[in-house]
Amino acid sequence: MALCLNQVFNKDKTFRPRKKFEPGTQRFELYKKAQASLKSGLDLKTVVQLPPGENINDWIAVHVVDFFNRINLIYGTMSEFCTEKSCPIMSGGLKYEYRWQDDHKYKRPTKLSAPQYMCMLMEWIEMLINNEDIFPTRIGVPFPKNFQQVCTKILTRLFRVFVHVYIHHFDSIISMGAEAHVNTCYKHFYYFSREFSLIDHRELEPLVRSCLLHVGVKFTSLQRENTRPVPHQSPCPHLNGPLPLNPALRSHSVIFTLTY
C-alpha cells in the first residue's frame, strides 16, 4: 500500500516551520482544490493547469508555498545524511556548483557547504512567503508587479535541492523507501514549473544530463528548446533502483557555477 509523504518523512524534521494557509481564505480553498486533484489520480500535466476563472498569481502562490513545505520536509528528514563532511560544497555532481548570494549577508556569490546553503535557502524563502508585500493574504491587496519573477527565483533555488538530493543522496532515499514519493513530488514540481515557464531550461540540465530521466519526465521538449543539444536518453516510467551518475558528469573538466 502506498504511503503518503508525511508517513515516509518525519514531519517533525522540517528544516523550517511549515507555512499554513488560513482556513476560509481563497488561498486555502485553492490549496484544497489542488490537493484534491493530486489525490484524484489525474495526470500531473493536467493537475498543474490553471483552473478556469482562477487568478494565476493566486495559483502560483499556493504551489510555491506547498512546494516549499514538501521540499522542506524531504530535506529536513534527510539532513542527517547531508553534512559538512559529506557535502563540503553545494553541488549537483562534479560539474555543477551552486553559490549563495542574498544581497544582505552574502553580497557576492559565496561558496558554501550543502547544509549551509540549504539553511540559507529555507530561511530566505520563509522570509519571502511571510512578507505580506510579496505574498499578500488580505482580500483586495494586489500582488507586486515582480511577483512571478520572485517565484521564479524561489523555484529555481528549490530545484537545486532536488538536484543535490538525487545526485548525492539517492541511496538514502532508497534506504528510506521514499523514492516513489520523492519522484512524484519532483514530477509535480517539474510540470508546474514548465507549465508557467518559471524555471529556465538551463537550470534543468544537471538532472537532464544525468540518468535521472527515469523518474518519468520526458525532456523531448527541452531538446527542441536548448541551443545546445541534450544527450539522447530513453525516459523510463519507473525508477527501479539507485542510478549511477552519468559518466559524462564524472569526467567533464568544466564546472558550471550558478548563483541566481
> Where do runs of H (alpha helix) occur along 14-113?
26-39, 44-47, 56-78
First vs last Cα of the chain: how many Å apart?
A: 40
The residues with which 97 forms a beta bridge, in sequence order, are: 91, 257
Q: Name residue, grid cell 544530463.
A: 209
Q: Name residue, grid cell 542527517.
A: 80
Q: Name residue, grid cell 514549473.
A: 193
Cell of 250: 564524472
Binding residues for Zn(2+): 82, 87, 164, 169
Cell of 18: 511549515
User: What's the Rg (C-alpha) of the chain?
Assistant: 18
Binding residues: 82, 87, 164, 169
Say if CB 9 and CB 73 are below 8 A apart: yes
DSSP string of 187-198, one letter each residue:
HHHHHHHHHTT-
Cα(114)–Cα(84) distance, integer angstroms: 7
The residues with which 34 forms a beta bridge, in sequence order, are: none
The residues with which 135 forms a beta bridge, in sequence order, are: none
